[in-house]
Amino acid sequence: MGLIKKILHRENALSIEEFLKRKHTKKKWSELLLEACCDANKELVKAILTTKEIDANHESGGLTPLIIASQEGYVKMVELLMNYPELDVNFGTNHGGTALIMASMMGNVRVIEILLTHPKIDVNIQTNKGQTALIVASFHGKNEVIELLLNHKKVDILLRNNRGKTALEVAKMNGHTKCVDKINCFMKEHKIEML
Protein backbone atom coordinates (compact mmCIF):
# COMPACT_ATOMS: atom_id res chain seq x y z
CA MET A 1 0.00 0.00 0.00
CA GLY A 2 1.41 3.41 -0.98
CA LEU A 3 1.96 6.22 1.47
CA ILE A 4 -1.08 8.24 0.38
CA LYS A 5 -3.36 5.23 0.71
CA LYS A 6 -1.90 4.43 4.14
CA ILE A 7 -2.43 7.99 5.37
CA LEU A 8 -5.95 8.19 3.99
CA HIS A 9 -6.82 4.82 5.54
CA ARG A 10 -5.27 5.78 8.89
CA GLU A 11 -7.10 9.14 8.92
CA ASN A 12 -10.42 7.77 7.59
CA ALA A 13 -10.33 10.18 4.62
CA LEU A 14 -11.71 9.42 1.17
CA SER A 15 -9.26 11.58 -0.78
CA ILE A 16 -6.07 13.57 -0.32
CA GLU A 17 -8.10 16.75 -0.88
CA GLU A 18 -10.46 15.79 1.95
CA PHE A 19 -7.50 14.95 4.16
CA LEU A 20 -5.79 18.29 3.43
CA LYS A 21 -8.96 20.23 4.32
CA ARG A 22 -9.06 18.69 7.79
CA LYS A 23 -7.66 20.47 10.80
CA HIS A 24 -4.44 18.82 12.00
CA THR A 25 -1.93 19.86 14.60
CA LYS A 26 1.38 21.41 13.56
CA LYS A 27 3.13 18.28 14.84
CA LYS A 28 0.85 16.04 12.75
CA TRP A 29 1.49 18.05 9.56
CA SER A 30 5.21 17.98 10.27
CA GLU A 31 5.22 14.22 10.79
CA LEU A 32 3.30 13.75 7.55
CA LEU A 33 5.85 15.91 5.74
CA LEU A 34 8.64 13.68 7.03
CA GLU A 35 6.76 10.57 5.87
CA ALA A 36 6.16 12.07 2.44
CA CYS A 37 9.88 12.94 2.11
CA CYS A 38 10.91 9.42 3.12
CA ASP A 39 8.53 8.09 0.48
CA ALA A 40 9.80 10.61 -2.14
CA ASN A 41 6.21 11.67 -2.72
CA LYS A 42 6.67 15.07 -4.39
CA GLU A 43 2.95 15.78 -4.84
CA LEU A 44 2.15 15.10 -1.20
CA VAL A 45 5.13 17.21 -0.04
CA LYS A 46 3.93 20.04 -2.27
CA ALA A 47 0.39 19.77 -0.90
CA ILE A 48 1.51 19.65 2.74
CA LEU A 49 3.80 22.67 2.29
CA THR A 50 0.77 24.73 1.24
CA THR A 51 -0.78 24.33 4.69
CA LYS A 52 -0.13 27.04 7.24
CA GLU A 53 0.30 24.62 10.12
CA ILE A 54 3.65 23.13 9.16
CA ASP A 55 7.15 23.12 10.55
CA ALA A 56 9.46 22.12 7.70
CA ASN A 57 12.31 21.88 10.24
CA HIS A 58 10.52 19.26 12.36
CA GLU A 59 12.87 16.39 13.07
CA SER A 60 12.36 12.79 13.94
CA GLY A 61 15.31 10.69 14.98
CA GLY A 62 17.49 13.69 14.21
CA LEU A 63 16.37 13.90 10.57
CA THR A 64 14.45 16.73 8.92
CA PRO A 65 12.65 16.57 5.57
CA LEU A 66 15.52 18.51 3.96
CA ILE A 67 18.19 16.19 5.38
CA ILE A 68 16.29 13.12 4.18
CA ALA A 69 15.71 14.55 0.69
CA SER A 70 19.34 15.72 0.41
CA GLN A 71 20.80 12.42 1.57
CA GLU A 72 18.61 10.42 -0.78
CA GLY A 73 19.20 12.73 -3.74
CA TYR A 74 15.55 13.72 -4.17
CA VAL A 75 16.24 16.84 -6.25
CA LYS A 76 12.59 17.91 -6.78
CA MET A 77 11.89 17.48 -3.07
CA VAL A 78 14.90 19.62 -2.15
CA GLU A 79 13.73 22.30 -4.59
CA LEU A 80 10.27 22.34 -3.01
CA LEU A 81 11.64 22.52 0.53
CA MET A 82 14.14 25.26 -0.34
CA ASN A 83 11.21 27.52 -1.27
CA TYR A 84 9.75 27.24 2.22
CA PRO A 85 10.44 30.60 3.95
CA GLU A 86 11.13 29.28 7.45
CA LEU A 87 13.47 26.51 6.31
CA ASP A 88 16.64 26.16 8.39
CA VAL A 89 19.07 24.97 5.71
CA ASN A 90 21.80 24.48 8.37
CA PHE A 91 19.80 22.33 10.79
CA GLY A 92 21.92 19.38 11.95
CA THR A 93 21.16 15.81 12.96
CA ASN A 94 21.89 14.55 16.47
CA HIS A 95 25.50 14.14 15.32
CA GLY A 96 25.61 17.53 13.58
CA GLY A 97 25.23 16.36 9.99
CA THR A 98 23.45 18.99 7.90
CA ALA A 99 21.69 18.52 4.56
CA LEU A 100 24.87 19.73 2.83
CA ILE A 101 27.09 17.32 4.76
CA MET A 102 24.78 14.37 4.07
CA ALA A 103 24.49 15.22 0.36
CA SER A 104 28.29 15.61 0.19
CA MET A 105 28.78 12.19 1.75
CA MET A 106 26.45 10.62 -0.81
CA GLY A 107 27.84 12.59 -3.76
CA ASN A 108 24.46 14.11 -4.66
CA VAL A 109 25.89 16.84 -6.90
CA ARG A 110 22.62 18.38 -8.12
CA VAL A 111 21.28 18.59 -4.56
CA ILE A 112 24.50 20.31 -3.45
CA GLU A 113 24.21 22.81 -6.29
CA ILE A 114 20.72 23.68 -5.06
CA LEU A 115 21.72 23.88 -1.38
CA LEU A 116 24.64 26.18 -2.18
CA THR A 117 22.23 28.73 -3.67
CA HIS A 118 20.56 29.32 -0.30
CA PRO A 119 21.69 32.69 1.10
CA LYS A 120 22.06 31.31 4.63
CA ILE A 121 24.00 28.13 3.78
CA ASP A 122 27.04 27.62 6.00
CA VAL A 123 29.54 25.43 4.15
CA ASN A 124 31.84 25.30 7.19
CA ILE A 125 29.49 23.81 9.78
CA GLN A 126 31.17 20.94 11.58
CA THR A 127 29.62 17.75 12.94
CA ASN A 128 30.25 16.56 16.49
CA LYS A 129 33.41 14.93 15.10
CA GLY A 130 34.52 18.14 13.40
CA GLN A 131 33.66 16.98 9.89
CA THR A 132 32.71 19.63 7.32
CA ALA A 133 31.05 18.95 3.97
CA LEU A 134 34.49 19.32 2.35
CA ILE A 135 36.16 16.89 4.75
CA VAL A 136 33.35 14.36 4.26
CA ALA A 137 33.59 14.67 0.46
CA SER A 138 37.38 14.23 0.71
CA PHE A 139 36.98 11.11 2.85
CA HIS A 140 34.59 9.56 0.31
CA GLY A 141 36.53 10.68 -2.77
CA LYS A 142 33.69 12.80 -4.19
CA ASN A 143 35.61 14.87 -6.76
CA GLU A 144 32.65 16.77 -8.22
CA VAL A 145 31.43 17.66 -4.74
CA ILE A 146 34.86 18.95 -3.76
CA GLU A 147 34.93 21.14 -6.85
CA LEU A 148 31.51 22.62 -6.02
CA LEU A 149 32.47 23.29 -2.40
CA LEU A 150 35.81 24.84 -3.34
CA ASN A 151 33.95 27.25 -5.62
CA HIS A 152 31.86 28.56 -2.71
CA LYS A 153 33.24 31.92 -1.62
CA LYS A 154 33.07 31.13 2.11
CA VAL A 155 34.68 27.67 2.15
CA ASP A 156 37.45 27.29 4.72
CA ILE A 157 39.75 24.49 3.54
CA LEU A 158 41.99 24.77 6.59
CA LEU A 159 39.33 23.61 9.07
CA ARG A 160 40.33 20.46 10.94
CA ASN A 161 38.24 17.61 12.24
CA ASN A 162 38.51 16.33 15.82
CA ARG A 163 41.50 14.22 14.78
CA GLY A 164 43.31 17.34 13.61
CA LYS A 165 42.99 16.54 9.89
CA THR A 166 42.09 18.93 7.07
CA ALA A 167 40.20 17.91 3.92
CA LEU A 168 43.52 17.66 2.08
CA GLU A 169 45.01 15.35 4.71
CA VAL A 170 41.87 13.18 4.77
CA ALA A 171 41.95 12.84 0.97
CA LYS A 172 45.66 11.87 1.09
CA MET A 173 45.10 9.30 3.88
CA ASN A 174 42.35 7.64 1.83
CA GLY A 175 44.28 7.59 -1.44
CA HIS A 176 41.95 9.93 -3.33
CA THR A 177 44.58 11.48 -5.61
CA LYS A 178 42.09 13.41 -7.77
CA CYS A 179 40.68 15.04 -4.65
CA VAL A 180 44.20 15.84 -3.44
CA ASP A 181 45.02 17.40 -6.81
CA LYS A 182 41.88 19.57 -6.76
CA ILE A 183 42.56 20.84 -3.25
CA ASN A 184 46.26 21.44 -3.94
CA CYS A 185 45.40 23.34 -7.11
CA PHE A 186 42.87 25.48 -5.19
CA MET A 187 45.42 26.21 -2.47
CA LYS A 188 48.09 27.19 -5.00
CA GLU A 189 45.67 29.36 -6.97
CA HIS A 190 44.50 31.17 -3.81
CA LYS A 191 47.98 31.26 -2.21
CA ILE A 192 46.85 29.27 0.83
CA GLU A 193 49.45 27.44 2.90
CA MET A 194 48.88 24.68 5.43
CA LEU A 195 49.42 25.81 8.99
Sign of CA dihedral 181, 89, 93, 1: negative
Task: Report pTM.
Answer: 0.86
Q: Region 178-188: what's the mean pLDDT?
A: 96
Q: What is the pLDDT of residue 78?
A: 94
- Burial profile 18-30: b = 16 or more Cβ within 10 angstroms, e = fewer: ebbeeebeeeebb
Which among 33-47, 62-76, 161-175 has the top mean pLDDT? Answer: 161-175
Number of neighbouring beta carbons within 10 Å of residue 78: 25
Distance CA(71)–CA(66), nearest Å, equals: 8
Q: Where are the domains of the chain?
A: 128-195
Evaluate whether the domain defined by 128-195 bears CATH number 3.40.47.10. Answer: no
